[in-house]
Structure 1
Amino acid sequence: MPRMRRKDDLPRKTCRTCGRPFAWRKRWARVWDTIETCSDRCRDAARRSRNAASR
């Protein structure tokens, strides 16, 4: 029987956009090293700020 993991036991990162901590998710297993934002909203905000800075 597989051991259940607690969310506190999972790896954590800090969101580059909002600064909040977020935990590892199974769907991010292959790309965890490249994940920088905690949500779609933060990813879109980072993209918008990069586009505004390049103008």
Structure 2
Amino acid sequence: MAHHKLHLPEKICLCCGKAFAWRKKWQRDWQQVKYCSERCRKNRHPRDNTNA
């Protein structure tokens, strides 16, 4: 059985600027996901203070 992960939605990380794809763990809150990793979330730039 082939895995069909070719058409997953992507976003650009606000911290590092890299593209990252949808993950199952983000299924319920994909609209609020802004960072590709915990590292980027913790080291976010000072200019991104929307919910701080």
- Verify: 1:21 aligned to 2:19, yes or no: yes
- Percent of pairs with identical residues: 43
Which 4+ stretches in 1 moved above 2 angstroms? none
> What is the identity, as a one-letter code, of the residue corresponding to 1:13?
K
Higher RCO (Cα < 8 Å, 6 or more apart): 2
Aligned counterparts of 2:26 and 2:7: Cα–Cα separation in 1: 16
> What is the CA RMSD across the aligned residues, in angstroms?
2.1
TM-score scaled to structure 1, two decimals?
0.73
TM-score scaled to structure 2, two decimals?
0.77
Partner of 1:35: 33
The answer for unaligned runs of 5 or more in structure 2 is 47-52
